[in-house]
């Protein structure tokens, strides 16, 4: 049978665009459908604008330290409108780049919401397209639970486009998005409250990292409400009144929910197909991203493995190679580095201490270091850098590396190569440090903790 396309991709985010581009560049006829801006979550309401906001909010900490280095700053003033509009211009520039990248290799971009009619047909608007293979790369969308007043709150999506910067905000959630936005708003001068139902945020990260970020945020003045739920949000003249499970009521200008994301599969047409999903809505795929329907594949956040942009891109590379060559390849999900753009930043690669103990028991050595960064000697401040290495005692292999401190993401990216290559603690010890840097501490830690 002759199809309109060799591959039809639904969703022009990081994973979908990479699969489409690489497949088309090798001669396949590819179409891609997107009803929102090109680039997906990461470019439009995720990684990129968030990092720009983090940069903006970090200036308040820099100004606080400037005087110790001889800079006299009489008055600082932040203009939210300038930041928001400059961010919008940058995102629009990236949208155009994505469009040009697809156009350059001949991918047909089709604007509109796509739904799958059958294993080889997709409908977009009033048009139906046929394809040998279909790829679902629709990502995720923020989740807000139902509660009294749930319609009054915003998510991170809306937070990037606020008309006015709130004077006081409650952020609900305990994942990295909630923590990052708490740092952003606090850095921009907003009175910030973080509400989380659990005893400590950042579940799944190393416990020392979680506690260190908690300490840093408390020192900065972020008000943390742990083991607490929101029971009701009411509109009042000055903004919103939030009633907590502790019976405390807090009046704020804005309530932002960052309580997780769910697969973006609404109206996709999966109900009429032989495509299996998990109870949380994520699409079940095999090691090669094939769904239970042989001609339909899925990757990225919508399959719920590791929801990171570089992971979706790696999955796209593996899948496009299969579409072009017929040779199947999987993705290695071990030792994937990740960063939390908290303030200060945090980054990790490998196992947490808790995970390492479950796997290796007492056959471990743990190294920790906490110190005042050199900048603070003149600039002042209570912030301290935290570093941690987890080592298998019997083999000397380093299986976990964690950091909280400025430039943590930049530093851990380099160390991730070493961890991926199977470096030992002796390899770390025999490496000469770059002085004076915080990073050199990773190659000078000698004494394990008890």
Active site residues: 435
Contact 257, 144 (CB under 8 A): yes
SS3 91: helix
Q: What is the dihedral of CA 274, 275, 281, 287, to 10 degrees?
A: 150
Instruction: Give, as one character, the DSSP assignment of residue 448.
Output: -
CA angle 82, 85, 86 (to 5 degrees): 80
Q: Which residue has the tokens 């990790």?
A: 348
Cα gap 428→366, rounded to integer Å: 14
DSSP annotation string for 334-375: TT--EEE--SS-EEEEE--HHHHHHHHTT-EEEEEEEE--TH
CA distances from 261 to 28, 48, 141, 196 (A): 33, 18, 5, 16
- Strand spans (E) along 153-300: 168-172, 191-195, 223-225, 230-236, 239-244, 249-252, 254-257, 261-263, 296-298
Number of H helices, E strands in the chain: 12, 21
* Dihedral angle sign, alpha carbons of residues 29, 35, 38, 41: negative
Question: How many residues are present in the chain?
Answer: 450
Q: Hey, what are 105's tokens?
A: 């290799």
Contact 390, 437 (CB under 8 A): no
Q: Hey, what are 430's tokens?
A: 């025999």
Contact 289, 315 (CB under 8 A): yes
Q: Hey, what are 27's tokens?
A: 């001669």
Cα gap 142→354, rounded to integer Å: 29
């Amino acid at each position: 049978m002759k199809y309109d396309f060799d591959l039809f991709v639904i969703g022009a985010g990081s994973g979908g665009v990479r699969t489409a581009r690489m497949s088309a560049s090798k001669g396949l006829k590819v179409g891609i459908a997107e009803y929102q801006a090109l680039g997906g979550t990461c470019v439009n309401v995720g990684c990129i604008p968030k990092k720009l906001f983090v940069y903006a909010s970090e200036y308040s900490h820099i100004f606080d330290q400037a005087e110790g280095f001889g800079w006299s700053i009489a008055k600082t003033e932040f203009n939210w409108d300038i930041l928001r509009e400059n961010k919008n211009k940058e995102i629009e520039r990236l949208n155009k780049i994505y469009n040009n990248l697809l156009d350059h290799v001949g991918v047909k971009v089709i604007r509109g919401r796509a739904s799958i009619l059958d294993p080889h047909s997709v409908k977009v608007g009033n048009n139906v397209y046929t394809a040998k293979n279909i790829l679902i790369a629709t990502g995720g969308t923020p989740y807000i639970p139902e509660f009294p007043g749930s319609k009054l709150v915003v998510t991170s999506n809306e937070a990037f486009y606020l008309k006015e910067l709130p004077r006081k905000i409650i952020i609900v959630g305990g994942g990295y998005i909630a923590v990052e936005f708490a740092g952003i708003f606090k850095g921009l001068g907003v009175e910030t409250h973080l509400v989380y139902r659990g005893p400590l945020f950042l579940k799944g990260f190393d416990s020392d990292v979680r506690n260190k970020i908690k300490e840093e945020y408390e020192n900065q003045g972020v008000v943390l409400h742990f083991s607490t739920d929101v029971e009701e949000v009411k509109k009042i003249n000055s903004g919103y009144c939030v009633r907590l499970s502790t019976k405390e009521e807090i009046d704020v200008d804005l309530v932002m929910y960052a309580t997780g994301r769910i697969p973006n599969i609404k109206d996709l047409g999966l109900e009429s197909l032989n495509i299996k999903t998990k109870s949380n809505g994520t699409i079940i795929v095999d090691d090669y991203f094939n769904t239970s329907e042989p001609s339909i594949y899925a990757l990225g956040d919508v399959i719920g493995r590791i929801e990171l942009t570089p992971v979706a891109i790696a999955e796209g590379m593996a899948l496009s190679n299969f579409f072009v060559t017929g040779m199947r390849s999987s993705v290695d999900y071990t030792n994937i580095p990740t960063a939390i753009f908290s303030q200060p930043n945090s980054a990790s690669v490998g196992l947490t201490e808790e995970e390492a103990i479950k796997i290796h028991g007492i056959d471990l050595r743990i190294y920790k270091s906490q110190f005042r960064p050199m900048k603070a000697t003149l600039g002042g401040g209570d912030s301290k850098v935290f570093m941690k290495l987890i080592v298998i005692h019997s083999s000397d292999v380093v299986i976990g590396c964690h950091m909280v401190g400025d430039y943590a993401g930049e530093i851990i990216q380099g160390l991730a190569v070493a961890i991926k290559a199977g470096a030992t603690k002796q390899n770390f010890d025999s490496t000469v440090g770059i002085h004076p840097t915080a990073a050199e501490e990773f190659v000078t830690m000698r004494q394990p903790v008890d």
